[in-house]
Amino acid sequence: MESIYYVLSWACHRKCKHCYDDRFRPYVRDALESVVVEGEQAYARIIANLPERMTYRDLDARNAQGEPEEKIGRIVLSGGDVLVDPVRTRILYPAMEAITRKYRDQGGVRIIVQTTGDLVTPEILDDLLARGMWMISISGMDDYHVGLEGDKKLPLVAHLKDLFARRGIRKSGYHAPVMGWADEEGPVYDMFGANGEEWIGALWPRGRSWLNGLSKATFSDNFCNGWSGGLHFLDHGHAGSEVSIEPNGDVYPCCLKSASPLGNLQQEALVDILDSLAGHPAFEAINMGHPERMGLSFGWDTETFYEKSMRENPKGEIQGHLCFGCDAFHREVLSKVIADLRAQRLSEKGVRSYAG
Ligand code: SF4
Ligand code: SF4
């Protein structure tokens, strides 16, 4: 697999108005303990059910024998903010150690720690490096993050660059979202945010971004057909493959989250779930980055899909987006298909399942 986006916990120290999931927010006392325990109890099983090797074959890069090169894939550990206490000590650190152990003798893995930026300290950076961090991805560099608007972010950027330089963490030669990171040696850093020129600049029509009427996404913004979307999610042996995982192990073809998870990694191996979906026309359409074609075999022509993709936004305007059609198709058709496939997998003898 080239990339896995793993949300370790819903806890965050911020409640940004543009956030793509309203579960990312501050939690206190029992509520904080509850979201921490959710991720803490799940990570070991989830990691055990990830692919045996986190490598992928790049068909465009050939070795001396003319075979596709095997490259090292990435696991992005994200929140919320994974540096929030006690997510950092009770989930992030042990998860990094478990991932490093699992892939040390299996071709390796690139661990990316994604964080807003303002919680980074020298001690935390040292802890992350000691646990094999390949990249720190600073994701809060935009005007939506309170206190980081415009030039207000510059002191933080300068401070972080100084911390990184003192530890030999170089600026990545690439900028998210890209393929080909496997070729770069760490430790490196990258900084991005929800800025107009970024691939997420239109804001996903999800979570608080949608509820606050901030997403400007239209049909032209086919997020499915790129990184973070459903593109290539089934192609787990090859370049471009990516899935996202929630703290409880639910797995999705995209970071935007389809309306039903494909399965749960506390119960089943990721590869078994993906292989059971390969060849199914709806999932193949998502895999091709063309969600409008997911219902063709079920009586949903593309015009029907586009009609179902219209939704009234909180400002009272009609807004069209392919992810809404995907949501509707899941509600009306695909969620039942997913549930049936899952029941079939679990009932079949010989299906690998860590939970047994
Ligand atoms: S955008 Fe990032 S920092 Fe802001 S609430 Fe969401 S996860 Fe937290
Ligand atoms: S169309 Fe569906 S599968 Fe594709 S990115 Fe949107 S929610 Fe995910």
Can you give the pLDDT at residue 94? 98
Q: Which atom of ligand 1 is nearest to the CA of 116?
A: 3
Instruction: Give the ligand whose atoms come closest to the C-alpha of residue 21.
Output: 1
Q: Identify the bridge partners of residue 113 per DSSP, sorted by sequence position.
A: 77, 136
Can you give the pLDDT at residue 192? 87
Asked if residue 138 lies in contact with residue 115, where contact means CB atoms within 8 angstroms, the answer is yes
For residue 353, pLDDT over 80 is answered with no
For residue 354, pLDDT over 80 is answered with no
Residues with Cβ within 8 Å of 337's Cβ and at least 6 positions away in sequence, in order, are: 280, 282
Share of the chain above pLDDT 70, in %: 95
Q: Which atom of ligand 2 is nearest to the CA of 326?
A: 2
Cβ–ligand 2 distance for 75 under 6 Å, the answer: no
Can you give the pLDDT at residue 174? 79
Give the lowest-confidence range in 114-123, 187-196, 213-222. 187-196
The average confidence (pLDDT) of the chain is: 94
For residue 176, pLDDT over 80 is answered with no
Q: Which atom of ligand 2 is nearest to the CA of 254?
A: 8
Nearest alpha carbon, ligand 1 atom 7: 80
Distance of alpha carbon 49 from alpha carbon 264, whole angstroms: 10
Name the band, by pLDDT with cuts 50, 70 and 90, for residue 349: low
Q: Per-residue pLDDT averaged across 286-311, rounded?
A: 98
Q: Per-residue pLDDT averaged across 337-348, rounded?
A: 96
For residue 85, pLDDT over 50 is answered with yes
Nearest alpha carbon, ligand 1 atom 1: 19
Nearest alpha carbon, ligand 2 atom 5: 224
Q: Per-residue pLDDT averaged across 276-301, rounded?
A: 98
For residue 182, pLDDT over 70 is answered with no
Cβ–ligand 1 distance for 146 under 6 Å, the answer: no
Asked if residue 265 lies in contact with residue 49, where contact means CB atoms within 8 angstroms, the answer is yes
Spatial CA neighbour of 2 closest among 237, 250, 231, 190:
237
For residue 198, pLDDT over 60 is answered with yes
Distance of alpha carbon 332 from alpha carbon 350, whole angstroms: 31
Going by the DSSP 8-state scheme, the letter that residue 148 receives in this structure is -
Share of the chain above pLDDT 90, in %: 87
Report whether the peptide linkage leading into residue 187 is cis, meaning its omega lies within 30 degrees of zero.
Answer: yes
Cβ–ligand 2 distance for 229 under 6 Å, the answer: yes
Q: Per-residue pLDDT averaged across 61-79, rounded?
A: 94
Q: Per-residue pLDDT averaged across 332-350, rounded?
A: 93
For residue 117, pLDDT over 90 is answered with yes
Q: Identify the bridge partners of residue 6 per DSSP, sorted by sequence position.
A: 77, 245
Ligand 1 centre and the CA of 57: distance in Å?
33
Cβ–ligand 1 distance for 208 under 6 Å, the answer: no
Which is more confidently placed, 353 or 192? Answer: 192
Question: Which of 20, 206, 223, 244 is the pocket-test mutation for ligand 2 (most atoms within 8 Å of CB)?
Answer: 223
Asked if residue 7 lies in contact with residue 247, where contact means CB atoms within 8 angstroms, the answer is yes
pTM of this prediction exceeds 0.85: yes
For residue 201, pLDDT over 90 is answered with no
Nearest alpha carbon, ligand 2 atom 4: 224
Spatial CA neighbour of 193 closest among 268, 123, 134, 116:
116
Q: Per-residue pLDDT averaged across 182-209, rounded?
A: 86
For residue 352, pLDDT over 60 is answered with no
Can you give the pLDDT at residue 340? 97
Q: Which atom of ligand 1 is nearest to the CA of 80?
A: 7
Q: Which atom of ligand 1 is nearest to the CA of 78?
A: 7
Enumerate helices (H) and strands (E) in the chain, giving the number of each.
11, 13
Spatial CA neighbour of 7 closest among 31, 34, 39:
39
Q: Per-residue pLDDT averaged across 245-264, rounded?
A: 98
For residue 355, pLDDT over 50 is answered with no
Name the band, by pLDDT with cuts 50, 70 and 90, for residue 331: very high
Give the lowest-confidence range in 190-204, 224-238, 319-333. 190-204
Gyration radius of the chain's alpha carbons: 20
Can you give the pLDDT at residue 142? 84
Can you give the pLDDT at residue 59? 92
Ligand 1 centre and the CA of 214: distance in Å?
15
Nearest alpha carbon, ligand 2 atom 7: 258
Distance of alpha carbon 262 from alpha carbon 268, whole angstroms: 11
